[in-house]
Amino acid sequence: MTNIQGPAIFLAQFMGDQAPFNDLESICRWAASLGYVGVQIPSWDSRLIDLEKAANSKTYCDELKGRVEACGVKITELSTHLQGQLVAVHPAYDVMFDGFAPEHLRGNPKARTEWAIQTLKNAAKASRNLGLDAHATFSGALIWHTVYPWPQRPAGLVEAGFKELANRWRPILDVFEEQGVDLCYEIHPGEDLHDGVTFERFLEATGNHPRCNILYDPSHFVLQQLDYLQYLDFYHEKIKMFHVKDAEFNPSGKSGVYGGFQSWIDRPGRFRSLGDGQVDFKSIFSKLAQYNYAGWAVLEWECCIKDAEQGAKEGAPFIRQHMIKVTERAFDDFAGADIDQQLLNNIIGIGL
């Protein structure tokens, strides 16, 4: 068995305009001071990384790694959640997602999609130049608006949607294959890849592409009322990344999974800081150890109640306490003995 790496922290929710959250070195030193040993970098924030430059310059990447490691942490993975979303956007969401694209591409869905695809290809090359072997993203969505349809979906719609989604992603996955990097989709409501069945549909549509993998985040499964522990039993071979994020689900006579268009604090399903929700992290870390997960345990902080800095401060020791140093020998080895073939034959009852 192998050991999980960590604790690490996803910087996306912490970047801001005030120190120490407004530049690479200061936020990395802040993370290290809290006990984190790794940082996951959102590639859309130019204060942290120039993704195009990283894709084309090993020298730049070596310098970037050096700057980060001088602060006491290392880069765990890059993220293109926002850019990945733009690979596949249904027109109903054009206005809402336009803000994820550079200003000159807004209002031009075709150019926006082309930019997103090229950005993902750059991310594959940048990851390799940084010596990383996994990358985080979203799948985007073409048929999410039909997830609970009325009237019913016409025959063939789901198949056509996943075929088109795979057509857009397969050339990107091929570049990740060339670079030797796993592309990990965060399984997430709002994406066409939002549970196990939809991941399987997409994987099949890509021709079971070897670089098509999963970023596991149990909080999104709590909000869907999906069995997040059995999910590990089904998909552990494809899980290459792990966001440690808590959540709770408290349905009432007024609201359930869909949330009633309420703000986060009033929804039955809410994201919480680590330890404040309902996720069984002891069982998750045990299963990940059982299945030889060798990647990082990365805090993703999202909570509608607790302050971000408090959540980050509490997160590192929480993850560290749950990490399992796997055993190198069986607990009952003391009762064993060297192989004695005659003894084995006697116990089986042969050769007497």
Query: What is the residue-averaged pLDDT of the chain?
Result: 96
- Residue 322: predicted pLDDT: 97
- pTM of the entire predicted model: 0.94
**Which residue range is the domain that position 130 belongs to?**
5-348
pLDDT at 264 over 70: yes
pLDDT at 214 over 80: yes
- Residue 347: predicted pLDDT: 84
- Residue 1: predicted pLDDT: 67
Q: What percent of the chain has pLDDT over 70?
A: 97
Query: What is the C-alpha R_g of the chain?
Result: 22
Please report the DSSP string for 160-220 in residue order: HHHHHHHHHHHHHHHHHHHHT-EEEEE--TTSS--SHHHHHHHHHHTTS-TTEEEEE-HHH
- Residue 339: predicted pLDDT: 83
Token digits for 200? 């399987």
Which three-class secondary structure state does DSSP give residue 299? strand
- Residue 182: predicted pLDDT: 98
pLDDT, tens only, 46-75: 999 999 999 999 999 999 999 999 999 999
Report the Cα 342 to chain-centroid distance in Å: 52
Report the Cα 114 to chain-centroid distance in Å: 23
- Residue 332: predicted pLDDT: 63
188, amino acid identity: H
pLDDT, tens only, 71-127: 999 999 999 999 999 999 999 999 999 999 999 999 999 999 999 999 999 999 999
Neighbours of 23 (CB within 10 A): 12
pLDDT, tens only, 138-151: 999 999 999 999 99
Neighbours of 309 (CB within 10 A): 13
Report the Cα 15 to chain-centroid distance in Å: 19
Measured CA to CA, the distance from residue 183 to residue 7 in angstroms comes to: 21
What angle, rounded to 10 degrees, do the helices at 157-179 and 196-205 form?
70
pLDDT at 338 over 80: no
- Residue 336: predicted pLDDT: 67
Query: What mean pLDDT comes out for the span 189-211?
Result: 98
Query: What mean pLDDT comes out for the span 326-346?
Result: 74
Helix (H) and strand (E) counts for the chain? Answer: 13, 10
The structural domain count of the chain equals 1
**What long-range pairs does 286-292 form, CB within 8 A, spacing at least 24?**
286/324, 287/229, 287/232, 287/233, 287/236, 288/4, 288/232, 288/236, 288/239, 288/242, 289/1, 289/3, 289/4, 289/324, 289/326, 290/1, 291/232, 291/236, 291/237, 291/239, 292/1, 292/2
CATH number of the domain enclosing 134: 3.20.20.150
